[in-house]
C-alpha cells in the first residue's frame, strides 16, 4: 500500500514513482558504543529500493538524536525550553544559574548533546523547584538582579503550587502516564478509587491527603488547587514537567492498584464516575445535611473509605479487574 500522493524520482526506476514510508533499524557507533536506532526510510512502490526524498535526512537526524538521548537518559531541547519557561529565565542566565558556562545552554539549544553530568543538573532543576532555588542562590553573584528575582519568584510560586505530598504527585504522574486524557473531575474520582482499593487490599492509605465530600463527589482540595492554576490541558503546560520521573518511585503494589483502577474506572468519564461515588456510603454519609448550593462538605475519613472498600472487596474481589468491573456495573445500574 503506497502513501497516496507521495511521489518522487526513483534512481533505480529512472522515473517518478509513488513511495511508502517504513521504519528501518540501523546500527551506529557513538563514542565507541553501538546503538540500534529506528529511522524512517522511503521505499519505491515499484522496485522496492530506498529513495532519497527531501527532508528525510533531517528527519533521520532528529530521530537518532531523540533515541540516543532517551537511551542515555539525557535531557532534550524541549526539556531545556520548558525549564526556561517554568522559571521565566533566558538561556544565558539559565546557564549561569545552573553553574555552567554562559554559552553552554545556548549550545544545547542549537543541538549539542549535553554530558550526563550536566544533563542530570538540568533534569534535577526541571523536576524540583527546591533544587532550582538552591542553584539560584549558589550562583547569585553571576546573575543580574532582574534575572535572579524573576527566576526566584517563579520557583517560590511553583514550590507553593506543588504543595501536595510526594506520594500524591507520584500517583498523579503515574495516572497521567497511563491515561491519554484526564479531566480534573475524572482525576479526582480516580484518586479516590485508588485510595479505596489500595487501603482495602493493603490495610493502609496510599497517600496522606484527606478527601472531602463535595457536591460533585469526593475531592482532594490540594489537588483541586493544583490543577485550577493550570489554564490549559495539564499535560500541555510546561510545569507538568515537574511531575516527570515521580512515578518511578512507586512500589509494585501501588502500581498494581493504579493499573487496576485505570483499566476499569479509567474507561469512564468524570460524570459517570461521579454517579458511582454518589451511591457509595462514605460520600452519602458525609453529605447528610448539605444541599447542592454548598459545594464543599465534610472530610471523608480514610478509615471510613477503607472500611467501605473492605466490604466491597469481600463481595466482589476488587483485587482483579473482573471484580472491579462487576462492582462498577452494579453501581451504575443502581444509579440509573
Of the three residues 120, 137, 161, the one that is the final residue of a domain is 161
Whether residue 174 lies inside any domain: the answer is: yes
Whether residue 264 lies inside any domain: the answer is: yes
Instruction: Reply yes or no on whether the pLDDT at 242 is more than 90.
Output: no
pLDDT value at residue 148: 96
Beta bridge partners of 118: none
Average pLDDT over residues 197-214: 94
* Number of domains, the chain: 3
Q: Do residue 129 and residue 104 come from a single domain?
A: yes
Average pLDDT over residues 47-71: 92
Of the three residues 161, 186, 208, the one that is the final residue of a domain is 161
Q: Do residue 127 and residue 174 come from a single domain?
A: no
Q: Do residue 195 and residue 270 come from a single domain?
A: yes
Could you tell me the CATH number of the domain that includes residue 63? 3.10.20
pLDDT value at residue 227: 74
Share of the chain above pLDDT 90, in %: 65
Nearest to 186 by CA among 275, 278, 284, 266: 266
Q: How does strand 217-219 pair with strand 50-51?
A: unpaired
Name the band, by pLDDT with cuts 50, 70 and 90, for residue 187: very high
Quote the mean pLDDT of the chain.
Answer: 88
Of the three residues 112, 132, 161, the one that is the final residue of a domain is 161
Map residue 198 onto helix, strand or coil. Answer: helix
Instruction: Reply yes or no on whether the pLDDT at 293 is more than 60.
Output: no
Phi, psi of 43 (to 5 degrees): -120, 130
Q: Do residue 45 and residue 150 come from a single domain?
A: no
pLDDT value at residue 239: 59
- Tens of pLDDT along 121-165? 998 998 788 899 999 999 999 999 999 999 999 888 777 666 778
Asked if residues 87 and 132 have their Cβ atoms less than 8 Å apart, the reply is yes
Q: Do residue 57 and residue 157 come from a single domain?
A: no
* Residues written for the chain: 336
Nearest to 313 by CA among 202, 166, 162, 183: 202
pTM for the model = 0.61
Distance, in Å, from the CA atom of 284 to the CA atom of 261, rounded to the nearest integer, reads: 22
Whether residue 303 lies inside any domain: the answer is: yes
- Tens of pLDDT along 268-277? 999 999 999 9
Whether residue 193 lies inside any domain: the answer is: yes
pLDDT value at residue 161: 66
Number of Cβ atoms within 10 Å of the Cβ of 233: 11
Placement of cell 532582574 in the chain: 146
Beta bridge partners of 15: 10
Beta bridge partners of 29: 34
Map residue 4 onto helix, strand or coil. Answer: coil
- Tell me which DSSP letter residue 240 carries: G
Name the band, by pLDDT with cuts 50, 70 and 90, for residue 222: confident
Q: Do residue 278 and residue 142 come from a single domain?
A: no
Domain that holds residue 86: 77-161
Whether residue 2 lies inside any domain: the answer is: no
pLDDT value at residue 246: 59
Q: Do residue 174 and residue 321 come from a single domain?
A: yes
Whether residue 37 lies inside any domain: the answer is: yes
Whether residue 246 lies inside any domain: the answer is: yes
Q: Do residue 323 and residue 177 come from a single domain?
A: yes
> Which residues, in sequence order, are CB contacts of 82 under 8 Å at separation 6+?
126, 238, 241
pLDDT value at residue 336: 74
- Work out the burial of residue 163: count CB atoms within 10 Å of its CB; fewer than 13 is exposed, 13-18 middle, 19 or more buried: exposed
Map residue 205 onto helix, strand or coil. Answer: coil
Q: What does 242-307 look like in DSSP terms, one character per residue?
A: GGTTGGGGS-HHHHHHHHHHHHHGGGS-HHHHHHHHTTSHHHHHHHTT--TT-----EE-HHHHHH
Q: Do residue 188 and residue 272 come from a single domain?
A: yes
Q: Do residue 194 and residue 147 come from a single domain?
A: no
Q: Do residue 308 and residue 222 come from a single domain?
A: yes
Nearest to 139 by CA among 107, 93, 108, 79: 93
Distance, in Å, from the CA atom of 170 to the CA atom of 110, rounded to the nearest integer, reads: 32
pLDDT value at residue 307: 96
pLDDT value at residue 181: 80
Q: Do residue 174 and residue 323 come from a single domain?
A: yes
Whether residue 1 lies inside any domain: the answer is: no
Amino acid at each position: 500500500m503506497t502513501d497516496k500522493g507521495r511521489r518522487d524520482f526513483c534512481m533505480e526506476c529512472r522515473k517518478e514513482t509513488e513511495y511508502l514510508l517504513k521504519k528501518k533499524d540501523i546500527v551506529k557507533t557513538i563514542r565507541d558504543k553501538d546503538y540500534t536506532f529506528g529511522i524512517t526510510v522511503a521505499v519505491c512502490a515499484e522496485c522496492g529500493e530506498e529513495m532519497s526524498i527531501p527532508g528525510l535526512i533531517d528527519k533521520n537526524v532528529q530521530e537518532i538524536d531523540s533515541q540516543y538521548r532517551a537511551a542515555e537518559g539525557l535531557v532534550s531541547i524541549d526539556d531545556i525550553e520548558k525549564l526556561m519557561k517554568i522559571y521565566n529565565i533566558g538561556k544565558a542566565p539559565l546557564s549561569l544559574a545552573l553553574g555552567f558556562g554562559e554559552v553552554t545552554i545556548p549550545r544545547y539549544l542549537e543541538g549539542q548533546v549535553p554530558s550526563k553530568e550536566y544533563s542530570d543538573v538540568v533534569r534535577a532543576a526541571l523536576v524540583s523547584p527546591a533544587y532550582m532555588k538552591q542553584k539560584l542562590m549558589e550562583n547569585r553573584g553571576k546573575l543580574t538582579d532582574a534575572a535572579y528575582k524573576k527566576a526566584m519568584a517563579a520557583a517560590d510560586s511553583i514550590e507553593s503550587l506543588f504543595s501536595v505530598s510526594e506520594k500524591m504527585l507520584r500517583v498523579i504522574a503515574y495516572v497521567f502516564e497511563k491515561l491519554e486524557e484526564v479531566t480534573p473531575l475524572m482525576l479526582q474520582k480516580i484518586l479516590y478509587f485508588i485510595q479505596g482499593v489500595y487501603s482495602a487490599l493493603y490495610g493502609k492509605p496510599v497517600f496522606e491527603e484527606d478527601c472531602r465530600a463535595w457536591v460533585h463527589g469526593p475531592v482532594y482540595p490540594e489537588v483541586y488547587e493544583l490543577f485550577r492554576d493550570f489554564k490549559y490541558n495539564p499535560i500541555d503546560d510546561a510545569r507538568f514537567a515537574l511531575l516527570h520521573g515521580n512515578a518511578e518511585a512507586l512500589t509494585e503494589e501501588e502500581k498494581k492498584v493504579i493499573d487496576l483502577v485505570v483499566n476499569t474506572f479509567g474507561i469512564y468519564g468524570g460524570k459517570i464516575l461521579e454517579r458511582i461515588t454518589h451511591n457509595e456510603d462514605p460520600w452519602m454519609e458525609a453529605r447528610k445535611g448539605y444541599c447542592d448550593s454548598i459545594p464543599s462538605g465534610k472530610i471523608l475519613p480514610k478509615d471510613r473509605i477503607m472500611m467501605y472498600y473492605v466490604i466491597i472487596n469481600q463481595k466482589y474481589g476488587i483485587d482483579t479487574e473482573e471484580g472491579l468491573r462487576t462492582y462498577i456495573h452494579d453501581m451504575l445500574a443502581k444509579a440509573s
